[in-house]
Structure 1
Amino acid sequence: MDQHLEVFIAVAEKKNFSRAAEELHMTQPAVSQYIRAFEREIGTRLLERTNKYVKLNKAGEIVYDHGKEIVGLYTKMQGLVDDLTNKTSGPLAIGASYTFGEYILPHVIADMLEEHPLVNPAISIGNTRDIAEFVLKHQLDVGIVEGDFRHEKLVIEPFAEDQMFIVAAPGHPLAQEENITPQELEKERWIIREIGSGTRKAADNMFAAINISPKKIMEFGSIQLIKESVEAGLGISLLSQWAIRKELAMGSLKKIQVDGLPFTRKFSIVTSSPYRTKALDTFLAFVREASSGDRPPAR
């Protein structure tokens, strides 16, 4: 891979020539020389420099975005070639939406590394929309996303179903009732994820399915924060069975009994290429195995 591009990406991410030089094990003058040569090759300045910081200009943003894609493709190509003769090993960039990434993925990775210690996974957690975008740009080898996700340029494989329940604090009035009506749910304060999240899409789909439009909504960007808020009595929420196992067992959350629930959604594997390294195929085998039951493996 072109070292000029590698140096440019390091400077862009560190926003500092000295820190980039330290990461690349180069001198600062050498880094500066590489950047000047790279800008001459591209034909324009890519960085705005001051005494305090370095930042990308518009041209730099374009080069950085495509450069990251080039690096991702190069790494994938190298891994595929290495796979022809070597054991399951090498880097593996994994992205996952919050529910799978926080509550299932750690068990999957631990089990995989126990049998294949030469695999070097790097994990990114984000909402479904962001993870899919990173896979599309080849910055991730694979994504695990929530909901009925579709994209014409990505390979999408639904592999597991997730049950979702409405939960409240044990002392919440609805937690004491049976045969709760949609109209009662509509009056409550709902604590839900942001738009772009698979969990948010599931909540919106459930609202449509039971024909309600709650007026009191709070958006939080973390499932853990939502759970803490529900436990504190701020409102109710729709959450995955995997996200609430511990809280239900400890009694800090309680399922609200509603006709038509649990609500179900799918988890899907998202890739951008039909070519897969041994490390990726191995990881996907562990993902499918862990999700074949109704809970992640215990450790």
Structure 2
Amino acid sequence: MINFELYKVFYLTAKSGSLSKAAKELYITQPSVSHSIKLLEDQLKLQLFARTSKGVELTKEGSILFSYIEQAYNFISLAEEKLHELRTFSSGEIKIGGSDSLCKHYLLPFLESFHDQYPHVQINLVNGTTPEIVKQLKEGKIDIGIVRTPILDEQMQVREGITIQDCFVTGPKYRELALGKVSLADLLKYPIILFSSNSSSRKFVTRLFSDHDLMLEPEIELGSVDLLIEFAKIGFGVSFVTKEFVAKELAEGSLFEVNLDAAIPSTKIGIITLRNMPLSTAAAAFIAKLENPVLG
């Protein structure tokens, strides 16, 4: 392939219409410009410039070449400009995938803080279940996934976030469940409200009951944590939720935590990215904020 520097000399000479002006912009001598153009013409086996009393002008062949080189030069300049913007956070975009509940109850404060710090970086949120988020990462549709651990996928790099504790909650109608100890078997006598079957929290609680040789069959399935909370409040049954996400309702007494005699293991929020895939400057900065919430 022809040395790209020759095309650069050709472009600046054609743009200015002068060998001396091109030499000045390139910080080389005029004979060096003439030599480069001659070298390019020899390799292409075409005459690109014709000399005039005012300088040089493009031949027909030179004009055709210039139309292509100009586009390439503009794209290279644009790429350099965009990289500068990304490096200085004057531009950029982060695509983050997560469930509605994690976006609302976990991510929101970090998003607000990040936006205040880097107002020109665009943030796009993509909602989905854990399998959907993993799929989106593998397809390159998002940069970061926020999910519940564990994630057993060798293509994923998992950074651990905060620890969360799940629990069963109910409204005033079944408040007795918050008073005395309740076994998992006794809990099944009440209407159970769970998240959709393909969610990680649903699989987690189903496994919990299965480990005690019990089959968990919900009476109601819902698509959002907000609905799980509201349905429990108004007496539809007992919902399985993340305790940290209903702290306000538990404190004000609109929800009551079921007093189980079995311990529910805690889990962690995972910050996942595609392994061996470099992160943009903005995405790396956002992950750093998630990993160091006090410093961020």
What TM-score results when the alignment is normalised by the length of structure 1? 0.65
Q: How much is the aligned-residue C-alpha RMSD, in angstroms? A: 2.6
Residue equivalent to 1:276: 279
Q: How many residues align?
A: 216
Residue equivalent to 1:233: 235
| SS of match in other structure, 1:244 | helix
2:245 to 236, 243, 246: 243
C-alpha change, 1:118 and 1:169, in structure 2 (3 Å) is: same
Task: Measure the CA separation in 1 of the matches of 2:260 and 2:115.
Answer: 41
How far apart are 1:187 and its partner, in Å?
1.8
C-alpha change, 1:250 and 1:232, in structure 2 (3 Å) is: same
Task: Measure the CA separation in 1 of the matches of 2:102 and 2:225.
Answer: 11
User: Which has the larger displacement, 261-270 or 190-199?
Assistant: 261-270
Unaligned runs of 5+ in 1: 1-76, 293-299
How far apart are 1:123 and its partner, in Å?
1.0
What TM-score results when the alignment is normalised by the length of structure 2? 0.66
Check conservation: 1:168, 1:253, Cα contact below 8 A.
yes
Check conservation: 1:147, 1:202, Cα contact below 8 A.
no
Check conservation: 1:79, 1:277, Cα contact below 8 A.
no
User: Which has the larger displacement, 153-162 or 84-93?
Assistant: 84-93
Q: Larger Rg: 1 or 2?
A: 2
Residue equivalent to 1:191: 193
Check conservation: 2:95, 2:144, Cα contact below 8 A.
yes
How far apart are 1:221 and its partner, in Å?
0.8
User: Which has the larger displacement, 254-263 or 207-216?
Assistant: 207-216
Check conservation: 1:98, 1:127, Cα contact below 8 A.
no
Does 2:139 match 1:137? Answer: yes
How far apart are 1:196 and its partner, in Å?
2.1
Residue equivalent to 1:119: 121
Residue equivalent to 2:19: none
Q: Write the mapping of 1:191-210 to structure 2, written as runs, cut at 5 A.
A: 191-210=193-212
Check conservation: 1:182, 1:211, Cα contact below 8 A.
no
Check conservation: 2:94, 2:122, Cα contact below 8 A.
yes
Task: Measure the CA separation in 1 of the matches of 2:189 and 2:284.
Answer: 47
User: Which has the larger displacement, 92-101 or 150-159?
Assistant: 150-159
Specify the code of the residue in structure 1 equivalent to 2:266. Answer: T
| SS of match in other structure, 2:154 | coil
Task: Measure the CA separation in 2 of the matches of 1:198 and 1:219.
Answer: 14
User: Which has the larger displacement, 115-124 or 221-230?
Assistant: 115-124
How far apart are 1:233 and its partner, in Å?
1.1
Task: Measure the CA separation in 2 of the matches of 1:79 and 1:98.
Answer: 35
Q: Write the mapping of 1:1-299 to structure 2, written as runs, cut at 5 A.
A: 81-82=83-84, 85-87=87-89, 89-272=91-274, 273-290=276-293
How far apart are 1:195 and its partner, in Å?
2.1
Check conservation: 1:94, 1:140, Cα contact below 8 A.
yes
Check conservation: 2:90, 2:120, Cα contact below 8 A.
yes
